[in-house]
Chain A
Amino acid sequence: DAGVIQSPRHEVTEMGQEVTLRCKPISGHNSLFWYRQTMMRGLELLIYFNNNVPIDDSGMPEDRFSAKMPNASFSTLKIQPSEPRDSAVYFCASTHGWGPTETQYFGPGTRLLVL
């Protein structure tokens, strides 16, 4: 299995530009999570989906952030407009089910730098 796939791996953009991060979960997994990792705040959950439906988006920092999951094999996280404080590593993770025993498998992350 290829694991969770994220693209791009690195993104450098200028303040005010739109940024779109992409994630392909592991085939057969039905829950998907978006995290942001910074040195100061560690790993923070932004939003998660179950069966393509957003369940909890309370971690989304502002209206500038939006996430979609149009089908079971693809999700996007969009930042518009981007700001320097959005610079971080963004991870996508997926799980097979909904129970407490389900392990979250993480992708390699997208390193975002907003100038």
Chain B
Amino acid sequence: EDQVTQSPEALRLQEGESSSLNCSYTVSGLRGLFWYRQDPGKGPEFLFTLYSAGEEKEKERLKATLTKKESFLHITAPKPEDSATYLCAVQARGGGNKLTFGTGTQLKVEL
């Protein structure tokens, strides 16, 4: 059974204090690893898809990386507007379009 574990559950940062969120996964053949951002009261919003170990993708202050066992979401010099819950999900080969999500990391960036 595919499993996704995210850590930490919650993270509090000062504005400008860089950090990383972790996503560990177990899947029978990775087809893709996805990062989403979710704001309170809203649906998840797509950020990145990574397909193979060593791949990296960037968007503004966010950079996602992938190894064979985990993915990291690096946040550089965060701002208060980066506060949200960040969700990681995996898609397995042979699993169609099914995504298995982790429970997320709740990020709070303070002034």
Report A's interface with B, CB cutoff 8 A. 4, 31, 33, 41-45, 48, 50, 55-56, 91, 93, 95, 98, 100-109
Report B's interface with A, CB cutoff 8 A. 31-32, 36, 41-46, 49, 51, 87, 89, 91, 96-104
State the CA gap A4–B43 with chains docked (Å): 10
List A contacts of B31 (CB < 8 A): 100
State the CA gap A108–B43 with chains docked (Å): 5
State the CA gap A45–B101 with chains docked (Å): 9
Given known pairs A95-B97, A100-B51, A104-B97, the reply for A42 and B103 (CB within 8 Å) is: yes
List B contacts of A109 (CB < 8 A): 41-43
Interchain Cβ contacts under 8 Å between A and B, 25 examples: A4-B43, A33-B97, A33-B99, A41-B103, A42-B101, A42-B103, A42-B104, A43-B87, A44-B101, A45-B98, A50-B97, A56-B96, A95-B97, A98-B97, A100-B32, A100-B49, A100-B51, A100-B91, A101-B49, A103-B46, A103-B49, A106-B36, A108-B42, A109-B41, A109-B42
Known: A31-B97, A44-B101, A104-B99. 20 other contacts (CB 8 A): A42-B103, A43-B44, A43-B87, A48-B96, A48-B97, A50-B96, A50-B97, A55-B96, A91-B43, A98-B96, A100-B32, A100-B51, A100-B91, A104-B97, A105-B46, A106-B43, A106-B44, A108-B42, A109-B41, A109-B42
* Most chain B CB atoms below 10 A, which of A4, A42, A101: A42
State the CA gap A109–B89 with chains docked (Å): 18
Q: How far, in Å, is B101 (CB) from chain A's closest CB?
A: 4
